Amino acid sequence: MNCVICKHGQTRPGDVAVTLQRGDCTVIIKGVPADVCDNCGEYYLSDTVTKQLLMRAETAAKSGAEVEILHYAA
């Protein structure tokens, strides 16, 4: 797929770190599978991966975590 941000790169499968914030809670999830632009580094997540990330971030926020660093596991 062509990158919609830079318009020059092609996306390729890879892994990224995703940072999510809500209020005072920051959740960093490493090793997230994504399609990554080979030109600018912009990444695109599937609907399934996005849903899983949001559920994990919600759990961290509800636990009262200020900062949580996780590794992605499908």
Q: Name the 3-class secondary structure at 10.
A: strand
Question: What are 17-74's pLDDT values in tens digits?
Answer: 999 998 899 999 999 999 999 999 999 999 999 999 999 999 998 999 899 999 998 7
Asked if the model's pLDDT at residue 14 lies above 90, the reply is yes
In the CATH hierarchy, which fold is given to the domain comprising 11-71? Answer: Ubiquitin-like (UB roll) (3.10.20)
Confidence band of 1 (pLDDT split at 50, 70, 90): confident
**Would you say 16 and 32 are in contact if contact means Cβ atoms under 8 Å apart?**
yes
Q: What's residue 73's pLDDT?
A: 83
Instruction: Show me where the domains of the chain are located.
Output: 11-71
Given the structure tokens 């996780």, which residue do they identify? 70
Tell me the two tokens of residue 6.
Answer: 């830079």
Report the C-alpha gap between 12 and 48 in whole angstroms: 18
